[in-house]
Structure 1
């Protein structure tokens, strides 16, 4: 059963080592951080279900990142270079929220001919993977990642959006995306519906939109129905996989 899912998920982006600390609101205010500004999720099982490509430095943080990826059973393939250090993210935790301050040093030129990094650095690479997935009826997923992506990288994001089969985000990212798209609503369920209905190239697969809200309801919109589940009590993963496959 494990081999069946090996390398079923391919990811590309910025390899970041999260360094977590529990802090109070005054700490966030001091450094101009917003609560719940970034939410990340990691697949733990099955072994090596996820394959990830990225660039790291030959340093202590790079070694920690490799070790943690291996412990999480992620099949990570890093380009290791000595010119720039590994990117890191200071994750500041306050109550139920998580704020991230990212420090990225990566040398992207060394990877130009092989792969790119997200929409902020190599939108052409993301679009190439997206079109390839669509042409072969493979599932292409995208994470809204952070509010500033929808604000300042709207054009490359919307070039990729027609190829997105599964879109992830949290409530803050969803609200920003809605404002930038002129949805004229702050209701997260309606935002999910409108996002799901955006134009799509591969009509063989309906788009699925999943928005988390911390300890509050997680919402999921498809072309057929809408689901709202309390994330602490009910897992949505099985329902999502049933729809996809």
Structure 2
């Protein structure tokens, strides 16, 4: 039976504030480089005040939201399930989702009082990204926010690993996975960040349970989750928990397992400026491709090209014209 949505995403709703900083800034303020760290609003405000924020860019974000918007820009039908507050940033978030063709559970009438979450994304000259995140109201995201009808009317459920940091988030992840399995909706999961595997390994294993249909991770996350010292060992171990998976390797491309064989995805050589959102773009482009008639090899090629465009600019998102150009380039 044909389903309305290609992808139903769920994750933290955060307004991304993207800016550039030096390594000295990170050292001076005691910020752990290359990791996502949860902070309170006071700490985040102190850091924002210490940065020249007129240089910052602001977009609705969160890992899964970036992926869902990417899939939508390529032409996929998408739904994003999240929680924002009834404040200016919450209204901005809803407006930005709609502007990018994403359906959502959000309506101004169902937004609660509170503070919409913010993610301060700090890019260093080596193109690495470090994030300090104040979750705000999204910390209370729970299974009560899940739109069961829309989830069941989707080809894929896409779960963001960042939800693992709270018990209510873990419960929502498990509940959504169960609903999807009962409805014949395939389950895709992204680990999102090495810190989610490093510090929340047991809850993440519980969410994975008896396995997922599709897993997205990077090389470090794959080895952390499997307790293996090489990517060759890790990818064999991942077969036990994921029917199919994609492991991104940064400048070295990616490894795709399509359920039968490993496919090496060549990288596109670019000058890296900002790695923020590269993994999100990879997942979004990949999910768009496999839900719209493309093979896993073709999906990997599209995802690799799209993520190479992301790292060569600031911010986690393409322009709609860029997404169209990428599709046209691969079609020729």
**Pairwise TM-score range, normalised by the shorter structure:** 0.7 to 0.9
1:28 Cα deviation after fit: 2.7
1:157 Cα deviation after fit: 1.6
Q: Which runs of 5+ in 2 are unaligned?
A: 38-61, 148-161, 270-281, 298-332
Question: C-alpha deviations, 1:71-126, integer Å up to 9, x for none?
Answer: 322212224111x2000101111233222211111166585534499333332221
Structure-2 residue corresponding to 1:59: 87
Q: Which runs of 5+ in 1 are unaligned?
A: 201-206
Normalized against structure 2, the TM-score is what?
0.59
Task: Give matches, 1:38-187, under 5 Å.
Answer: 40=63, 41-42=66-67, 43=70, 44-46=72-74, 49-78=77-106, 79-82=110-113, 84-94=114-124, 95-106=126-137, 113-115=144-146, 118-121=163-166, 122=168, 123-161=170-208, 162-178=210-226, 182-183=227-228, 185=229, 187=230
In the alignment, is residue 190 of structure 1 matched against residue 233 of structure 2?
Answer: yes
In the alignment, is residue 23 of structure 1 matched against residue 17 of structure 2?
Answer: no
- d(CA) in 2 for partners of 1:132 and 1:22? 41
CA RMSD in angstroms comes to: 3.3
Question: C-alpha deviations, 1:11-68, integer Å up to 9, x for none?
Answer: 1221011111122222233332323659945324245622111111122221222232
Structure-1 residue corresponding to 2:31: 32
Report how many residues are paired.
Answer: 228
1:140 Cα deviation after fit: 0.3
Is the contact made by 1:133 and 1:139 (CA closer than 8 Å) also made in structure 2? yes
Residues 61 and 142 of structure 1: is their aligned pair in 2 closer, same or farther, counting only changes over 3 Å? Answer: same
Residues 35 and 226 of structure 1: is their aligned pair in 2 closer, same or farther, counting only changes over 3 Å? Answer: same
User: Which of 1 and 2 has higher RCO (CA within 8 Å, sep 6+)?
Assistant: 2
Of the structure 1 ranges 50-59 and 144-153, higher mean CA displacement relative to structure 2 is found in 144-153
In the alignment, is residue 242 of structure 1 matched against residue 295 of structure 2?
Answer: yes
Of the structure 1 ranges 27-36 and 51-60, higher mean CA displacement relative to structure 2 is found in 27-36
Bigger fraction of residues in helix: 2
| Shift >3 Å, 4+ stretches | 36-41, 107-117, 235-241
